Amino acid sequence: MSSSQYEPLSITESSLEHPLVRDLAWLTDAPDLVCTQWPGRPDLASLGFADNESLMSFLQQLDAHPLALEAWLESSNSRRLGAYHERLWQFLLKTAPGTELLAHNVPVRVERRTLGELDMVYRNQQGDYRHLEVAIKFYLGLPEGPQQPDSAARWIGPGGLDSLALKVSHLSHHQLPLMCRPAAQQALVERLGALDLQPPASTPDPQMAMPGVLFRPWHAPDFPLPSITAPNALQGLWCHWRDWSRLCAEHPRLTFGTCLARPHWLAPPHPGHWQPRRTLSRTLAAHFATWATPVQLMLCRDPMEFAANPTPTNDDAPPEDFGRRILVVGNDWPGQIPLPPDQPD
């Protein structure tokens, strides 16, 4: 098993207390899920951070004075995970020392037809304009499904409405090329003009950020990842509720756990908020006695010990016994499987 199959406690968990700041820290640290032909997210240098220490200083200051972040997130009426993730990116580009957020959520219309929306346009320290599209995704692998075993179409969302193949296709063939359309360029000029900002002299360069987690099926541990998976993509396990006890029996070292409530599916909570696994099991039993909605959770060893020593230090404890992200689904999941996209990945 590769080290990417577990999620070590890192900069997110070292000293930060505020849950919103922890989510923002996770965002800066989490790798993207896939490799595509499009440029990836802004790196630390382009955000204006010389190294991890300068980023940590920025986050610690925000942790001590989080009012601006709280206000920015509360100004959105949506509580959807995707919208929350977008607002975090907006705040980061707005407040990082190396970037200036110029516009976000710019609708692109031709006559009365909406073609789409530009997620974010920002400017870096060199004066270059960038068009950033973002998405946060959690996909579960299907041992039986459409196309080949390593196809992105085999990885679907918890609700069964989308797949990794559909999302990558939409980003690659619609959202990222949108900036090249005259209607999008005109919409950006109008938005920037209304804010008394100078429009770019040329089309902003596209970028894509898509962090998240790929959950391998617990009952098929050798099931391959999609062929487009990025090398360091975060991985977890998924299981049906009926298999929860058996999964726990296979990981006896992971004696503590915590549920992650939407939209806070990003960073794990502070170690002081974790609970014994037996308590977590009772919570899951009560949930699935009434509901069938998936529950995302994390398991680990003693979280205080984990926070102090997140990296395995002996050969007796495999990496996956230091932390696991799990998605537990109802016994009749999936209720539906989306068709593959018409266009290739």
How confident is the model over 176-228, as pLDDT tens digits? Answer: 999 999 999 999 999 999 999 989 999 999 999 999 999 999 999 889 999 99
* Reported confidence tier of residue 9, pLDDT bands at 50, 70, 90: very low
CA dist., res. 178 & res. 109, Å (int): 11
Q: How many CB atoms lie within 10 A of CB 36?
A: 16
Residue 342 lies inside a defined structural domain of this protein:
no
With 90 as the cut, is the pLDDT of residue 331 above it?
A: yes
Residue 191 lies inside a defined structural domain of this protein:
yes
Q: Which domain holds residue 207?
A: 3-237
Residue 295 lies inside a defined structural domain of this protein:
no
Q: Are 157 and 137 in contact (CB under 8 A)?
A: yes
User: Hunting for tokens 């530009």 — which residue is that?
Assistant: 118
Which is it for the CA torsion 240, 246, 250, 255, positive or negative? Answer: positive
Residue 319 lies inside a defined structural domain of this protein:
no
Residue 102 lies inside a defined structural domain of this protein:
yes
Tokens for 243, please give them: 């298999």
Residue 172 lies inside a defined structural domain of this protein:
yes
Per-residue confidence (pLDDT) for residue 7, from 0 to 100:
55
Average pLDDT over residues 236-249: 96
With 90 as the cut, is the pLDDT of residue 48 above it?
A: yes
With 60 as the cut, is the pLDDT of residue 76 above it?
A: yes
Residue 296 lies inside a defined structural domain of this protein:
no
With 50 as the cut, is the pLDDT of residue 3 above it?
A: no
Per-residue confidence (pLDDT) for residue 323, from 0 to 100:
75
Task: Estimate the crossing angle of helix 19-29 against helix 52-64, to 10 degrees.
Answer: 160
Total of domains in the chain = 1
Per-residue confidence (pLDDT) for residue 316, from 0 to 100:
47
Q: Are 230 and 34 in contact (CB under 8 A)?
A: yes
11-24 residue pLDDT tens: 455 679 999 999 99
Name the average pLDDT for the chain.
Answer: 89
DSSP-derived letter for residue 229 is B
251-275 residue pLDDT tens: 998 999 999 998 999 998 887 788 9
Average pLDDT over residues 48-75: 95
Residue 246 lies inside a defined structural domain of this protein:
no
With 60 as the cut, is the pLDDT of residue 138 above it?
A: yes
Tokens for 7, please give them: 């999620």
Q: What is the pTM of this model?
A: 0.91
Tokens for 141, please give them: 């692998």
